[in-house]
Chain A
Amino acid sequence: GENVEQHPSTLSVQEGDSAVIKCTYSDSASNYFPWYKQELGKGPQLIIDIRSNVGEKKDQRIAVTLNKTAKHFSLHITETQPEDSAVYFCAASGAGTSYGKLTFGQGTILTVHP
């Protein structure tokens, strides 16, 4: 089955800096790659997603890039703010299955210092 590796496990940045989180996946048939943000005591919230026919997607301060050949994708957050502090998860799902049947990475704890 699919395996998703996520790095780093923790990331500490100063407010205004950029943050980058990277994930690799094992199943070349995977074609949907969402990123979720989880705050303490809450469920994961989708922040951005990308499908395999697209190499990059941007939404304001957040961008995701996908390299299908290398089977890795990354989350980029620019101009970080303290409210960006949370746990971030990458995930992947494969062709022929529901987009919601996801394999998640282990998560990255992002801390943005004011």
Chain B
Amino acid sequence: GAGVSQSPSNKVTEKGKDVELRCDPISGHTALYWYRQSLGQGLEFLIYFQGNSAPDKSGLPSDRFSAERTGGSVSTLTIQRTQQEDSAVYLCASSSNPSGSPLHFGNGTRLTVT
């Protein structure tokens, strides 16, 4: 079946601009996660949504980062006033059961801030 879909696959933006990254999880998956992959920091957890519960935002690096999940499905990660250190691959993942099921990752959005 269809996997996790992310768009755009690549995004180049100027420093100071806002960007929105989109994630379509696997249909029926209630849990959705955002991770960031950068050369210096590896794979880092950012935020986690589970059903209608309040999201776990403990991994967001600053208040310039935010995310929402509408209707329990699609999620958008927003980065305001982008900085060069925000350049990374942003990965979305979903799972059917956060208590026991593995993550399925999308192919990511490569963000470059110039």
| A residues adjacent to B (C-beta < 8 A) | 34, 36, 41-46, 49, 89, 91, 98-107
- Asked whether B107 lies within 8 Å of A100 as measured between CB atoms, the reply is no
A46 touches B45 (CB 8 A): no
Provide the residues of chain B in CB contact with A89, threshold 8 Å. 42-43
Q: Would you call B65 an interface residue if the criterion is a C-beta within 8 Å of the partner chain's C-beta atoms? A: no
Across the interface, do A107 and B42 meet the contact criterion of CB distance under 8 Å? Answer: yes
* B:91-114 near A, CB below 8 Å: 91, 93, 95, 98-108
Given contacts A100-B98, A107-B42, whether A44 and B50 have CB atoms under 8 Å apart is no
Q: How far is the CB of A12 from chain B (nearest CB, A)?
A: 21
Q: How far is the CA of A98 from the CA of B48 in the complex (A)?
A: 9
The interface size bin for chain B is 20 to 34
| Residues in B lying within 8 Å of A, measured CB to CB | 4, 31, 33, 42-45, 48, 50, 56, 91, 93, 95, 98-108
B101 contact set on A, CB distance < 8 A? 99
Q: What's the count of A-B pairs with C-beta under 8 Å?
A: 59
B33 touches A101 (CB 8 A): yes
User: What 4 pairs across the A-B complex have the smallest Cβ distances?
Assistant: A43-B105, A98-B98, A104-B43, A46-B102
Nearest B-chain residue to A1, judged by Cβ: B58
- Bound CA–CA A93/B101 (angstroms): 12
Inter-chain contact B102/A101, CB cutoff 8 Å: no
Q: Which residue of B lies closest to A36 (CB)?
A: B105
Task: Let me know if A99 and B107 touch, CB within 8 A.
Answer: no
State whether B105 touches A99 (Cβ < 8 A).
no
CB–CB A43/B56 < 8 A = no
Interface centre among A34, A104, A105, by most B CB within 10 Å? A104
